[in-house]
Amino acid sequence: MARSNISKLKVLVTRPIPEIGLNVLKEANYDLIINSTNRPLKPSELKHMAKNVDAILCFLTDTIDKDVIEAAGPNLKIISTYSTGYEHIDVIEAKKRNIKIGYTGNILTQTTADLAFGLVLCVGRRIVEADNLVKAGKWKYGWCPDLMVGTDVHGKTLGIIGMGKIGTEIARRALGFGMKIIYTNRTSIARPNLINLFPNFTDIKYSELSELASRSDYVIVCCSLNKDSYHLVDKEFISQMKKTAFLINIARGKIVNQKDLIAALKKKIITGAALDVYEEEPLSKNNQLLKMKNVVLLPHIGSASTETRNKMSERAALNIVNVLQGSDEKALLIN
Ligand code: DGY
């Protein structure tokens, strides 16, 4: 699909990606415009660099709105995001112009589920707090009857908000730890499908959101962000949680009303929280969460394993090559 014998197809890569994906693009002999600074481009920079490109490889830190799409111009055929979520892309505008949107689909499901379950263990058993204590030289008396006493994980109830691919994999891990599972989902999962997914079906039950709040020892948010899930976890939800419970969010920050969560943590309405995502990323230096002992805070690293990031890089690049070569069926597209 070369425009002429001399002009190469132009691809904008908005941040550095692992070598494997870059090689895919290099082998296809594109003219690569790469932001190699690792800092997200400002909207004005993004618009400038996107001019006349045939494809954009972007990240969830880039807002690909109508302005950017318009700035790119009529050559733009595909926006390929190095993520599973694509709420940062104006899907309607892209569809209107017949621009394809590529994403990384299920590549990161297992890796994100690993991290999610890690957070359950971390917050319940105070792993980060205990590590900090030892490293700060505050471990005084060896074994201690009341040192860093936490909450069990086995035998407890895990409430999963959003039983999609990641939710299902978290449930699988939780069953291995002897937890009971209750879940909510936008669409109810048919019993035969549930039995298929979990032969040990007795320990997994559907529940309404408020029942999930009041019965869970650990609530984990793993649904996608949309107009129905925006601030789904708010003051009302948290006020129904057990005083001994923990909230974990590995999905999107805007699903949890952060102000309400901070207020609840301060008043000890729940025992703690573990967050990988926030309403604003990165957190500002004066965010109150940073001073709280009863929270574990991660910098949005759900998919951050070398293996998975390599696969994401390759997939995001292949989506571009596939679409630019007219083999859409080989690409992972949302449209
Ligand atoms: C995604 O892909 O949506 C994650 O949040 C980032 O890896």
- Condensed to tens digits (0 to 9), the pLDDT of residues 257-303 reads 999 999 999 999 999 999 999 999 999 999 999 999 999 999 999 99
Ligand 1 pocket, residues with Cβ under 6 angstroms: 60, 83-85, 108, 302-303
**pLDDT value for 2:** 44
| Atom in ligand 1 nearest the alpha carbon of residue 86 | 3
Per-domain residue ranges for the chain?
10-103+307-330, 108-297
- Pick among 3.30.70.1560, 2.120.10.30, 2.30.42.10, 3.40.50.720: CATH of 10-103+307-330: 3.40.50.720
| Atom in ligand 1 nearest the alpha carbon of residue 85 | 3
DSSP codes joined into one string, 158-182: EEEE--SHHHHHHHHHHHHTT-EEE
Q: CA-CA distances (angstroms) from residue 164 to 40, 43, 105, 231? A: 29, 32, 12, 19
Q: Note if the pTM is more than 0.85.
A: yes
Nearest 5°: CA angle at 142, between 138 and 145?
A: 100
* Coil, strand or helix at 135: helix
State yes or no: is 252 an active-site residue: yes
Mean per-residue pLDDT of the chain:
95
State yes or no: is 231 an active-site residue: no
**Residue with CA closest to ligand 1 atom 4:** 83
**Residue with CA closest to ligand 1 atom 2:** 83
Low-confidence ranges of the chain (pLDDT < 70): 1-6, 188, 191-192, 200-201
> And the tokens for 143?
């074994």
The closest alpha carbon to 209, from 229, 226, 227, 224, belongs to: 229
State yes or no: is 281 an active-site residue: yes
Nearest 5°: CA angle at 177, between 173 and 181?
A: 70
**pLDDT value for 1:** 44
Q: Annotated catalytic residue: which of 88, 125, 231, 300?
A: 300
- Whether domain 108-297 has CATH 3.40.630.10: the reply is no
Q: Annotated catalytic residue: which of 215, 252, 309, 315?
A: 252
**pLDDT value for 170:** 96
The helix (H) or strand (E) run that includes residue 185 is none
**pLDDT value for 254:** 98
The closest alpha carbon to 56, from 68, 42, 38, 44, belongs to: 68
Cis peptide before 145 (omega within 30 of 0): no
**In the chain, how long is the greatest CA-to-CA distance?**
76
Separation between Cα atoms, residue 324 and residue 54, nearest integer Å: 8
Same fold, 10-103+307-330 and 108-297: yes
**Residue with CA closest to ligand 1 atom 6:** 83
Separation between Cα atoms, residue 151 and residue 125, nearest integer Å: 6
Q: Ligand 1 centroid to 139 CA: how many Å? A: 37
